[in-house]
Amino acid sequence: MRRFTSVFLSFLLFLVLLSHVSSRPPAVPARRSIVGETCKQIARDDPNVDFTFCSRSLRSVHGSDGADLRGLAMISLKLAVANATGAGSRAKALLKGGGLSRYYKSCLAACGDVYADAVSDLRDAAGMIRSGRLVDARVHLSAAVDAPVVCEDGFRDGGLASPMTEEDGDLMQLAVIALAITVRLG
């Protein structure tokens, strides 16, 4: 009788577990990440974009995976504006340092100017995207993409190492990401 009770209780436990498992709703397939998909496409199409950089940058903004493509464009623009603003502040701070050659100072001043222009171009592009003027937005974004190149070229032309290389690399990628997303908008 003991054996029968043990088998019976095991069978009941099995039935309870089986009914619990079978009553669960089916697993919902994971929603594809717009950030991941967009960054994958952009990195595939443009050698200047690193997938990991793109994903990390866009995902650093709360709600980016729930955004649509226009929202991602705006997020990438905000990131690029913040980067260009920070780079401009760094260039100004470096200008205050002592012992810099006249040429080095002129390079830093030029970088500060192109960063200010980039901020203006990026903000203009944001307004144009909002109003649906995508072709005009792309023109301003293309100008912002050139800003870090201009900064780096000044130092390189003088045979100097640029202190802005990291900022310029990040700004280049962020501006290219914003441009590539804007191109995908239409």
Task: Report if residue 61 sits inside a domain.
Answer: yes
Alpha helices in 96-130 (DSSP H): 102-130
Look up the CATH number of the domain holding residue 170: 1.20.140.40
The answer to whether 111 and 151 have CB atoms below 8 angstroms apart is: yes
pLDDT above 70 for 6: no
Task: Report if residue 3 sits inside a domain.
Answer: no
Q: What percent of the chain has pLDDT over 70?
A: 83
Residue 32 banded pLDDT, cuts 50, 70, 90: low
- pLDDT for the residue numbered 177: 97
Task: Report if residue 163 sits inside a domain.
Answer: yes
Residue 25 banded pLDDT, cuts 50, 70, 90: very low
Query: To the nearest whole number, what is the mean pLDDT of the chain?
Result: 86
Task: Report if residue 153 sits inside a domain.
Answer: yes
pLDDT above 60 for 21: no
**In which domain, by residue range, is 88 found?**
34-185
The whole-angstrom distance between residue 170's C-alpha and the CA centroid of its chain comes to 9
Task: Report if residue 151 sits inside a domain.
Answer: yes
Whole-model pTM above 0.85? no
Task: Report if residue 97 sits inside a domain.
Answer: yes
- pLDDT for the residue numbered 27: 39
Task: Report if residue 15 sits inside a domain.
Answer: no
CA–CA gap between residue 90 and residue 145 (Å, rounded):
19
Lowest mean pLDDT among 18-27, 73-82, 120-129, 136-145: 18-27
Task: Give kind and range of the element (H or E) at residue 67.
Answer: none
